[in-house]
Amino acid sequence: MKHLAPFLIVASVALLTIGGGVILYRAKRVSSVAASPDIATKESKQGDVHSRGPANAPVVLEEFGDFQCPPCGGLSGPLLTIEKDYATKLRVIFYNFPFAIHQHARAAAHAAEAAALQGHFWEMHDLLYREQAKWSAVPDVSQLFESYAEILKLDVPRFRKDVRSPQVEVRVVRDEQLGKSLGVQNTPTLILNHRPLPSSSLNSESIRKAIDEILATQPAR
Amino acid sequence: MARHSPHKSKSSANIHLPRSLQVAYSLAVLVALAGLADATYLTVQSLTGETLVCGGSADCSKVLGSAYSHLGPIPLASVGALGYFAAFTFATFCAFGYRRLRIFLASTVWVMFAAAIGLLCVQAFILHAFCRYCLFSAATTFLLTGILVATTPNGARQT
């Protein structure tokens, strides 16, 4: 019996590894966003959100994003193309979720919110993502963000003041709290018509497929 | 930890495995298990797409989300898991007296050692970021290499 011991040990470890891996895989897929997205929907219905696209669009894509997160930046281009391709059928909503591990993420969120006070949130949103690699490497981003405000033809003195305003801080914190209440742990987190997309689907092809599936179930208008 | 069949002992197993070697191989088994757990965790992270998002360590995101973390469509961590499992298997059999399998254990560990050095260089000189899971994996590989070198038969110890 003793000569079977190494075989039994190796087989047991193989089974444990595979079983543990499968359990971990399932747990991680489920816990990517565990909470109900009803809260986000409630916020978006109140109209106090940054949204782009028709208000009555059949598909609503909600993003929790961090402007300094490389995967968020990488996904922003494909998302913009998707928005254009599904122009009349898709509404996109953005929530700030800056991580402390990213040095300038909060400052970037503040810049976007300050631009929002002048009605140019999405222009600043797109610019911040497009220029992410540049400003992420700069020690002091305030001047760079002011130059972005200038490019967008904003009132720069007002922008400078708004960036540090409690109003902007409250707005960013509110988005963060909303994300935390939903169980958001990563960025980008995308919620498509109440359904969180798994991290493995954060690519253009999977997002389009998910949108098409929703549209296929919608009655023709 | 030794086999008693006289017939089998002529082929691969050795009933007179010194106590020090038994301990060393058992230690190698435990170290390989730790590496296997780490590599399995990283494989699962890669398969769930967790490496494609931000949320944990910024450096880990940079390393695990880089092009160097995959061999084509295959996560490098899964290759590491296979390597650790092979090392675990051979170390287990060696601990039970199958001395002829030592050559396979040595081959596996040296390949893993070379890979660990290469990946550390990628992190240091190309990505300029270190992921703690990858550092743990490198540490377990170095430990396995150390155990292997310490158990290398030479002079009086050679059997």
Report whether A112 contacts A68 (CB < 8 A).
no
Question: Minimal CA–CA distance to A186: which of B75, B66, B65, B69?
Answer: B65
Chain segment B78-136, per-residue pLDDT in tens: 999 999 999 999 999 999 989 889 999 999 999 999 999 999 999 999 988 899 999 99
Q: Is B128 left (phi over 0), alpha (psi -120 to 50) or beta?
A: left
Measured distance CA(B18)–CA(A185) in Å, rounded = 51
B81:A17 CB<8 A: yes
pLDDT tens digits in sequence order for chain A, 221 residues long: 678 899 999 999 999 999 999 999 888 776 555 444 554 555 555 558 999 999 999 999 999 999 999 889 989 999 999 999 999 999 999 999 999 888 999 999 999 999 999 999 999 999 999 999 899 989 999 999 999 999 999 999 999 999 999 999 999 999 999 999 988 888 999 999 988 898 888 889 999 999 999 999 887 65
Name residues whose C-beta falls within 8 Å of residue A198's C-beta, 6 or more positions apart in sequence.
Answer: A29, A32, B48, B49
Chain A residues in contact with B62 by the CB 8 A cut-off are 70
Chain B residues in contact with A201 by the CB 8 A cut-off are 49
Q: Which of A13, A99, A198 sits opposite B54 (nearest CB)?
A: A99
**Residue that wins the pLDDT comparison between A216 and B55:** A216
B9 confidence band (pLDDT: 50, 70, 90): very low
Q: Is the pLDDT of residue B156 over 60?
A: no
DSSP A196: E
Distance of alpha carbon A23 from its chain centroid, rounded?
Answer: 26
Q: Which of B40, B49, B54 sits opposite A20 (nearest CB)?
A: B40
Q: Is the dihedral of CA A56, A61, A66, A71 positive or negative?
A: negative
B157 confidence band (pLDDT: 50, 70, 90): very low
pTM exceeds 0.90, yes or no: no
Report whether A37 contacts A93 (CB < 8 A).
no
The pair of structure tokens assigned to A128 is 């911040």
Q: In the sheet where A195-196 sits, what is the strand order?
A: A50-52, A90-96, A59-65, A189-192, A195-196
What pLDDT score was predicted for residue B8?
45
Question: What DSSP line would sit under A135-163, residue for residue?
Answer: HHT-S--HHHHHHHHHHTT--HHHHHHHH
What is this model's ipTM?
Answer: 0.81
| Beta-sheet pairing, A189-192 with A90-96 | unpaired
What pLDDT score was predicted for residue B101?
93
Measure Cα distances from B78 to A75, A148, B140 in Å: 26, 43, 16
Report whether B6 contacts B44 (CB < 8 A).
no
